[in-house]
Amino acid sequence: MGFDRDCMSDRIRRVLADRIIAGVLAPGDRLVEMRIAEEFKTSQAPVREALRELEALRLVKSEPYRGTRVREVGVEEMTEAYAVRAVLEQAAAEVAAPLLQGNTAALRSCLNELHASAIAGDREGYARHDLDFHRGIVEAARNRILLQTWDSLGFETRVRIMLARNEPDLPRFAVCHDPILEALDAGDGTRAGRLLREHAESFMGPGPARPCG
């Protein structure tokens, strides 16, 4: 019975995390245990466990009398997250480039979807494909700890696009990824790493991001 409950709490945690990262659940949205339990046709115990795990991952925050809500990320925290992401992605690209040389079909497919979302003005789709593109590069470095550390920044860095007050120029942001892919396809880790670092650093600070650094 305990095994079933653990499996259910893991499933609930994964689904809710995906919704938060995809922007389906926005910062400040409340997560009501009873409603979640009804959706997953389970008791509130595994829901409570899932919410505790999400809080440990810093995706939600629980407060007395306010319940559990999707955590809001401030400008300073986003800036710090992008500073760390810049370093991680540069390191990942330098290692991954020789392995990706002439073998970037999956990344190219993801980038095509990114451009399509940008042209359509689909901010959620853009954020999703952007995440997949960057994560694909980090995965290619074949360093589990590096990937886990990068994943831990996913929420903070994604909300920058999702919560921009003004409509971001998505096509211009999308174009920034083209030279990164070209450098990886050529096996040039130094150039790919520099471009990725500059791209991440362009999102730092309270003002609008600067496309392509």
| CA distance linking residue 84 with residue 206, whole number of Å | 17
Q: How many domains, the chain?
A: 2
DSSP state of 164: -
Q: Is residue 211 part of a domain?
A: no
Q: What is the pLDDT along the chain (213 residues), one digit of tens a residue?
A: 343 555 899 999 989 987 887 678 888 899 999 999 999 999 999 999 999 988 887 789 999 888 999 988 777 888 888 899 999 999 999 999 999 999 999 999 999 999 999 999 888 788 889 989 999 999 999 999 999 899 888 766 666 555 554 567 889 999 999 999 999 999 999 999 999 999 999 887 666 667 775
Short-list 185, 71, 193, 171, CA closest to 123: 171
> For the chain, percent helix, then strand, then coil, each to nearest 5?
70, 5, 25
CATH code, 167: 1.20.120.530
- 105 and 129 belong to one structural domain: yes
| CA distance linking residue 150 with residue 134, whole number of Å | 10
What is the value of pTM for the model shown?
A: 0.72
- Token pair for residue 76? 């300073």
C-alpha dihedral over 57, 161, 178, 80, to 10 degrees?
A: -50
- 103 and 190 belong to one structural domain: yes
Q: Is residue 116 part of a domain?
A: yes
Helix (H, G, I), strand (E, B) or coil at 61: strand
| CA distance linking residue 121 with residue 168, whole number of Å | 9
Q: With both helix axes pointing from N to C terminus, report the angle between 123-140 and 75-100 in degrees, rounded to the nearest 10.
A: 50
Domain boundary among 53, 70, 87: 70
| CA distance linking residue 152 with residue 58, whole number of Å | 9
